[in-house]
Amino acid sequence: DVKYDFKTLEPKWQDAWEEAGIYRVTESSDRPEYYCLEMFPYPSGNLHMGHVRNYSIGDVVARFKTMQGYNVLHPMGWDSFGLPAENAAIQRGIHPSVWTKDNIANMKRQLKSMGISYDWEREATTCLPDYYKWTQWLFLQLYKNGLAYKKKAAVNWCPSCATVLANEQVVEGACERCGTVVAKKDLEQWFFKITDYAQRLLDDLEKLPGWPEKVKIMQKNWIGRSEGVEVRFKAAATGEPLPVFTTRHDTIFGVTYMVLAPEHPMVEKLTAGTAYEADVKAFIRKVQQLSNIDRTSNELEKEGLFTGAYAVNPMTGEEIPIWITNYVIMDYGTGAVMGVPAHDQRDFDFAKKYGLPIKVVIQPAGEEQKEDLTYAYEEPGIMVNSREFDGMSNEAAMEGIADFMEHQGLGKRVINYRLRDWLISRQRYWGAPIPIVYCEKCGMQPVADDQLPVILPTDVEFKPSGESPLKTSPTFREATCPRCGGKATREMDTMDTFVCSSWYFLRYCDPKNSEQAFAKDKVDYWMNVDQYIGGVEHAILHLMYARFFTKVLFDLGLVSVEEPFENLLTQGMVLKDGSKMSKSKGNVVSPEDIIHQYGADTARMFILFAAPPERDLEWNDSAVEGCYRFLNRVWRAVVSYLDVVQKAEGPMDTGSLSQADRDFRRVVHQTTKKVTEDIAIRFNFNTAISAIMEMVNAMYNYRDKTGEQGGNPAVIKEAVEKLLLMLAPLAPHIAEELWHLAGKTGSIHQESWPAYEEEALKQDTVNIVVQVNGKIRDRLDVAAGLDGESLKEVILASEKLAQWTTGKTIVKVVTVPNKLVNIVIK
Ligand code: ANZ
Ligand code: ZN
């Protein structure tokens, strides 16, 4: 008897597939193309269950699409620049490139042991010069088109990691990685002008029906488009402009004070030489300890300080006091806000705290005007205390007031975005060097294309300090000016790793190109990505940056699509004991252990079976066992039929099938239909797998009914083939092994996806004679093969029967399956 020996057969097939190159694809194919992409991993050293889930899902999609007749691009690579490699270097004295290379080798081995269908010929590794050369080249394209610029910026600085952090890497005022309180520091930094693309990034979300709604909402909120009016307030003393941005210009008559961000350039002018100066300076220092995220949080305790100065409301000529506060940030709108305590809760709290007046200008329709508000009235209503606008709805007044302001030159309609330019400078070593030099004569100069890549030097020292290790390289600093040939120094910053991952999907289309980042015709052939699969933690940044890059490249004529990812699947987390698997919680299940114990096919089946892809998945040891037992059951069933399958000859004679044949065959075709739809339409691998499990049960039932050698060979052959073909994308090794044991040549992974026949799906019916007290009263068509109980149920539910039985008691029901029912009544 042949045993299910996954330990031998899995590596055997992995090697065979690799040898035969069955996952290699090119652009010359008469099949339609399909690009299946999973987010590439950071090579931290070992695959975790999140990876296993991500890559198992992707592998089913890729294999399924291949079987459906597509030319499928399914690549893999490494997001391999970044901080952990550098920290490992500092802590353990291993060079980041060595650490990274070892980790890649290990994780690649692990991926191979999962049997994922990658075309490894297309591997892209962002930390290798043949890749980052093009990251640098792309930087220069942005630079030359005015989309990369340098400016001094107050940045989030983690004193412990000694690096700049993006806003999103600051969590509740602390470094996302090490938890140290983040400080502010003014540095010359490189930015990408993603804000130029804010509107397009927003509008084009409409073109992505294949994205989860929640991801689109997150992107939308991140872009944060807001329509309002910039109102031209002025300083009372000097007449200098102090514009404010408001979305509620309908409340302009209710303004009772102004608040400025402490960093606002007017603050110094307004307070210089006054009695307020010293206190204001102290207040500013205090506020600057807070991050923008804290300052915009609802929980923030609002604090403020009067500056001693006044502003003029251009609509009313009224003078109002100017305050500074911790809740107004400089880099949104104009950094100045008109305070309307009656209609904004934040302003209300502030006014109550500091005894500022509250003036109602909108009230609920049909209600008496309130004297003392206990909270701000933020709902729509009727305008009061607002001159000629009184009595209007506030919505109508919005338009009226904006028109009035524009006519009188008191303000203008503006659109603001919350999206900020993308800070890409990192004062770190393990990243792509920014290809810029500074010449003593010519100033800042881009490195010439033929001088790329700017290679990361290896003669650097790693120690925890505020400086980039690049600065310790004796060779890196000196450069020649590409313009005058004179002495120049290199830019020492490296790029944010999100830059590397913003275009890797394009490199996969043409990974070995040494002349270009990618050839346009190849990218045109494959792009866009038909299915992108990854964690929801990338819903904002990575996806936004990749969309931005794609749009820039589209504008430069380098790609023909404006959106990179047509369909997006965000998979849920893998939990154990109710929480995310993590080292700190000590609840990690190692993929390698599971593969060792049960095999890759069981690991994949469990991951796919335990939950629909978008939901969180709870690890369950006994369910893993269950999947293993199921594969053994498949194994035994198919092995018992190997002879029958091999000997079955000729086409099936559907006319001569027995009832048992027809019933079993119906299950086979119904399962094929369900599995096809579950995978193709909904990615419901879990329900697809349970349908396959039921089909295997039906196979055992059929065998019980017909005996080991007794079934119809053609029916059995069809069932075994369909079963293996459907298992192929899910459990690729066992499917391949059984396929070959059944006498097939060629890989099952190059076969077509099984079809189902409408005819075979149909239920057989039989005509049943219905008797009441022995007299024939009716004839009914019902499903064939019903047992006595089911038959009784169906017949008793029939309407026609009621005329004979109402008012009577049914004493007994006699059933003869497939033939007759006799109802005895009294
Ligand atoms: C007066 C007002 C009255 C406001 C009212 C709201 C309600 P969104 O929708 O997010 O764009 N604001 C403007 N610039 C700000 C800054 N730099 N820091 C903090 N707050 C700022 O929000 C626009 C509103 O946020 C603006 O409208 C302004 O307050 C405030 F009953 O102006 B409003
Ligand atoms: Zn020069």
Distance 90 CA to ligand 2 centre (A): 36
Helix (H, G, I), strand (E, B) or coil at 398: helix
CB distance 358 to ligand 1 below 6 Å: no
> What does the alpha-carbon distance between residue 420 and residue 402 come to, in Å, rounded to a whole number?
26
Intervals of CATH 3.10.20.590 along the chain: 765-825
Cα(338) to centroid(ligand 1), Å: 8
pLDDT > 90 fraction of the chain, expressed in percent and rounded: 77
Q: How far apart are CA 353 and CA 303, in angstroms?
A: 9
> 331 pLDDT band (50/70/90 cuts)?
confident
Give me 120's structure tokens: 């490894």
The bound ligand whose nearest atom lies closest to the alpha carbon of 445 is 2
Cβ–ligand 1 distance for 329 under 6 Å, the answer yes
414 vs 169, residue with greater confidence: 414
Distance CA 434, CA 456 (A): 10
User: Degrees (nearest 5) of the Cα angle 423, 425, 430?
Assistant: 135
pLDDT at 487: 94
What confidence category does residue 315 fall into, taking pLDDT thresholds of 50, 70 and 90?
A: very high
CA dihedral 444, 445, 451, 454 (to 10 degrees): 30
Distance 448 CA to ligand 2 centre (A): 12
Range 226-416: architecture per CATH: Alpha-Beta Complex (3.90)
Reported as a single tens digit per residue, the pLDDT across 722-744 is: 999 999 999 999 999 999 999 99
User: What's residue 1's pLDDT?
Assistant: 65
List of long-range contacts for 207-215, beta carbons under 8 Å, 24+ apart: 207/562, 207/563, 208/563, 208/565, 208/566, 208/568, 210/566, 210/567, 210/568, 211/565, 211/567, 211/568, 212/568, 212/569, 212/570, 212/614, 214/536, 214/539, 215/536, 215/539, 215/543, 215/568, 215/570
Query: CB count, 10 Å around CB of 491?
Result: 20
pLDDT in tens, 228-284: 999 999 999 999 999 999 999 999 999 999 999 999 999 999 999 999 999 999 999
**Any bridge partners for residue 77, and if so which?**
124
Which residue out of 245, 250, 348 has the highest number of ligand 1 atoms within 8 Å of its CB and is therefore the one to mutate?
245
**Centroid of ligand 2 to alpha carbon of 488 (angstroms):** 7
- For the segment 632-659, what is each residue's pLDDT rounded down to a tens digit? 999 999 999 999 998 888 888 888 899 8
Tell whether ligand 1 has an atom less than 6 A from the beta carbon of residue 818: no
Q: Is the dihedral of CA 525, 527, 528, 529 positive or negative?
A: positive
Least confident of 158-167, 176-185, 276-285: 158-167
Q: How far is the CA of 140 from the centre of ligand 2 (A)?
A: 18
Show the CA angle centred on residue 630, arms to residues 627 and 634, nearest 5°: 140
Nearest CA residue ID for atom 26, ligand 1 = 246
- Token couple for 483: 């313009």
Ligand 1 atom 22, closest CA: 247
Ligand 1 pocket test, pick from 246, 298, 343, 375 with the greatest ligand atom count within 8 Å of Cβ, gives 246
Task: Look at residues 789, 790, 664, 781 and name the one whose alpha carbon lies nearest to residue 715.
Answer: 664
Residue with CA closest to ligand 1 atom 10: 226
What per-residue confidence (pLDDT) applies to 292? 66
Q: What is the CA radius of gyration of the chain?
A: 35
Nearest bound ligand to the CA of residue 224: 1
CA angle (705 as vertex; 704, 708 as ends), nearest 5 = 55
Task: Read off the pLDDT of residues 764-806 as tens digits, 9 standing for 90 and up.
Answer: 788 899 999 999 999 988 888 788 898 998 888 888 888 888 8
Q: Supply the residue whose CA is at minimum distance from atom 5 of ligand 1.
A: 344
Q: Which residues are annotated as a binding site for ATP?
A: 583
Say yes or no: CB of residue 86 within 6 Å of ligand 1: no
Q: DSSP characters for 221-287?
A: HHH--EEEEEE--EETTT--B--EEES-GGGGGG--EEEE-TT-HHHHHHHTTSTTHHHHHHHHHHH
**Separation of CA 81 and ligand 2 centre (Å):** 31
Out of 194-203, 465-474, 789-798, least confident range: 465-474
Which band of pLDDT confidence, cut at 50, 70 and 90, is reported for residue 407?
Answer: very high
Is residue 251 lining ligand 1, measured as CB closer than 6 Å? yes
- What are 142's two structure tokens? 């942005």
Identify whether the C-beta of residue 166 lies closer than 8 Å to the C-beta of residue 192.
Answer: no
In 3-state terms, what secondary structure has residue 110?
helix
Which of 100-114, 523-537, 672-686, 778-792 shows the lowest per-residue confidence on average (mean pLDDT)? 778-792
> Residue 494 — φ and ψ, nearest 5°?
-110, 170
Measured by CA distance, the residue closest to atom 14 of ligand 1 is 333
Do 536 and 215 touch, CB atoms closer than 8 A? yes
Cα separation of 703 and 695, whole Å?
A: 12
User: What are the angstrom distances between the C-alpha of 446 and each of 42, 153, 449, 455, 491?
Assistant: 29, 21, 9, 15, 10
- Of 250, 332, 345, 395, the residue with max ligand 1 atoms within 8 A of its CB, to mutate for a pocket test, comes to 332
Instruction: Confirm or reject: Cβ of 497 under 6 Å from ligand 1.
Output: no
Instruction: Decide whether any atom of ligand 1 lies within 6 Å of the 335 Cβ.
Output: yes
Which of 93-97, 294-298, 729-733 has the largest mean confidence? 729-733
222, 242, 247, 343: residue to mutate for ligand 1 pocket, most atoms within 8 A of CB: 247
Find out whether the beta carbon of 333 lies less than 6 Å from any atom of ligand 1: yes
> Per the structure block, which two tokens stand in for 325?
């506060």
Nearest one of 600, 624, 634, 626 to 9, comparing CA atoms: 600
pLDDT at 304: 95
Q: What is the pLDDT of residue 659?
A: 86
- In short, whether 324's Cβ falls inside 6 Å of ligand 1 is no
* Least confident stretch, 183-187, 454-458, 680-684: 183-187
| Residue 499 pLDDT > 70 | yes
Å from CA of 219 to ligand 1 middle: 21
Residue 781 has what pLDDT? 87
Tell me, using a 6 A CB cutoff, whether residue 256 lines ligand 1. Answer: no
Whole-number Å distance between alpha carbons of 185 and 162: 11
Residue whose entry in the numeric block shows the structure tokens 């008012």: 807
User: In the structure encoding, which two tokens stand for residue 598, read together?
Assistant: 């049960």
Q: Where does 610-684 have alpha helices with state H?
A: 621-640, 642-647, 659-677
Q: Among residues 394, 395, 314, 330, which one has the least CA distance to residue 362?
A: 394
- Which pLDDT belongs to residue 467? 66
Query: How remote is the CA of residue 246 from the centroid of ligand 1, in Å?
Result: 5
162: which 2 tokens? 């000694």
* Two structure tokens written together for 18: 């690799």
* Residue in this structure with the two tokens 């004062």, named with its chain if needed: 427
Does ligand 1 come within 6 angstroms of the Cβ of 262? no
172-175: long-range contacts (C-beta < 8 A, 24 or more apart)?
A: 172/293, 172/294, 173/290, 173/291, 173/293, 173/294
640: Cβ contacts below 8 Å, ≥ 6 apart: 703, 708
Indicate whether residue 246 lines ligand 1 (CB < 6 A).
yes
Q: Can you list the positions of beta strands (E) in 121-248?
A: 124-125, 148-158, 163-165, 170-171, 174-175, 183-192, 226-231, 234-235, 244-246
Omega prior to 46 cis, within 30 of 0: no
CA of 491 to the centre of ligand 2 (A): 14
pLDDT tens-place string over residues 541-570: 999 999 999 999 999 999 999 999 999 999
**High-pLDDT (> 70) share of the chain, %:** 98
The helix (run of H) or strand (run of E) holding residue 18 is helix 6-20
Can you give the pLDDT at residue 550? 98
168 pLDDT above the threshold of 70: no
Ligand 1 closest atom vs CA 335: 17
Which residue puts its alpha carbon closest to atom 29 of ligand 1? Answer: 246
Nearest CA to ligand 1 atom 12: 337
Predicted confidence band of residue 177 (pLDDT cuts 50, 70, 90) = confident
The residues of the chain that CATH labels 3.40.50.620 are 1-122+529-615
343 CB under 6 A from ligand 1?
yes
Asked whether 790 lines ligand 1 (CB < 6 A), one says no
The answer to whether 22 touches 15, Cβ cutoff 8 Å, is no
DSSP-assigned letter for residue 577:
T
> Which of 303, 306, 302 lies closest to 276 in space, CA to CA?
306
Tell whether ligand 1 has an atom less than 6 A from the beta carbon of residue 332. Answer: yes
CA of 416 to the centre of ligand 1 (A): 11
Total residue length of the chain: 826
pLDDT at 174: 85
Going from the Cα of 340 to the center of ligand 1, the distance in angstroms, rounded, reads 10
Cα–ligand 2 centroid distance for 444 (angstroms): 8
Write out the residue limits of the CATH 1.10.730.10 domain(s) in the chain.
Answer: 620-761
3-class SS letters over 485-540? CCEEEECCCEECHHHHCCCHHHHCCCCCCCCCCCCHHHHHHHCCECEEEEEHHHCC
Task: Give 203's pLDDT tier (boundaries 50, 70, 90).
Answer: very high
Q: Which residues contact 49 (CB under 8 A, 6 or more apart)?
A: 574, 581, 588, 589, 591, 607, 619
Q: Is the CB of 295 under 6 A from ligand 1?
A: no
In contact, 52 and 607? CB cutoff 8 Å: yes
| Average pLDDT value for residue range 288-306 | 79
CA atoms of 163 and 165, how far apart (whole Å): 6
User: Considering the chain, what is the average pLDDT of its residues?
Assistant: 93
Contacts of 808 (CB under 8 A, 6+ apart): 825, 826
Distance (Å) from CA 400 to ligand 1 centroid: 19
pLDDT band at 492 (very low <50, low <70, confident <90, very high): very high
- Please identify, in words, the CATH class of the domain defined by 620-761: mainly alpha
Give the Cα separation of 191 and 495 in Å (integer).
Answer: 10
Two tokens at 170? 């600051």
Note the CATH number of domain 1-122+529-615.
Answer: 3.40.50.620
Residue with tokens 């991050």: 291
Report the alpha-carbon angle 71-76-82, nearest 5: 155
CB atoms near residue 423 (< 10 Å): 20
Q: How many Cβ atoms sit within 10 Å of the Cβ of residue 408?
A: 11
pLDDT value, residue 296: 73
**Residue 817: pLDDT above 70?**
yes
Give backbone dihedrals phi and psi of 453, rounded to 5 degrees, phi first: -80, 155
Ligand nearest to the CA of 487: 2
* Residue 411 in contact with ligand 1 by CB distance below 6 A: no
Whether residue 465 has pLDDT greater than 70: no
Nearest alpha carbon, ligand 1 atom 7: 344
Q: Using a 6 Å cutoff on CB, does residue 342 contact ligand 1?
A: no
Start and end residues for every CATH 3.90.740.10 domain found in the chain: 226-416
Q: Which fold has domain 765-825?
A: Ubiquitin-like (UB roll) (3.10.20)
Q: Is there an atom of ligand 1 within 6 Å of 226 CB?
A: yes
The pLDDT assigned to 650 comes to 81
- pLDDT of 466 > 70? The answer is no
> Whose CA is closest to atom 9 on ligand 1?
226
Ligand with the closest atom to the CA of 482: 2
**ipTM of this predicted complex?**
0.96
pLDDT over 90 (residue 211): yes
Q: What is the pLDDT at residue 293?
A: 66
Residue 245 Cβ < 6 Å to ligand 1: yes
pLDDT reading at 171 higher than 90: no
